[in-house]
Amino acid sequence: MKLIIGGAYQGKRQYALEHYDGMELVVDFHLKVLGWLKEDIDPVSHLKDNLSDYQGKVIVCDDISCGVVPVDPLLRKWREAVGHTLTFLAKESDEVVRVFCGIGMRLK
C-alpha cells in the first residue's frame, strides 16, 4: 500500500499516475472519511477492520489539517478524523509521499 498526501490541487493524482503505473488508485480518500462520519462510522476502526481492501493500492488523500479551523462541528470532526486516519495509514503503508507543487517528497 502506498499513501500520497498533500494539499488540494497540488498534483497528487498526476504524481500517482506517473510513479505507480498499473496500481489501482483510491482518490479523494478524505471524502471517504467524511462519508463514514456522516454514517456515524469511526474511520480508523473501519480501516482497521477493512485494511485488506486497500492492500496493493495507492491511496491519494488531501491533507486538510492546514488553514483555518472550521466553525462547523462536523467539519472540525472531519479534520481531526482525517488526521487520525492518515496517521494510521502512514504506519501501515510501505511508502508515504507528500506532494507539493507536483513534486513528491518521500517521507517513508
Question: CATH 3.40.50.620: does it fit domain 2-106?
Answer: no
Q: What is the pLDDT of residue 67?
A: 81
pTM over 0.85: yes
CA–CA distance, 89 with 47 (Å, rounded to integer): 8
Strand 95-100 to 57-62 pairing = unpaired
Mean pLDDT, the chain, whole residue set: 96
Confidence of residue 78 (pLDDT cuts 50, 70, 90): very high
Confidence of residue 69 (pLDDT cuts 50, 70, 90): confident
What residue segments make up the domains of the chain, in order of their start? 2-106
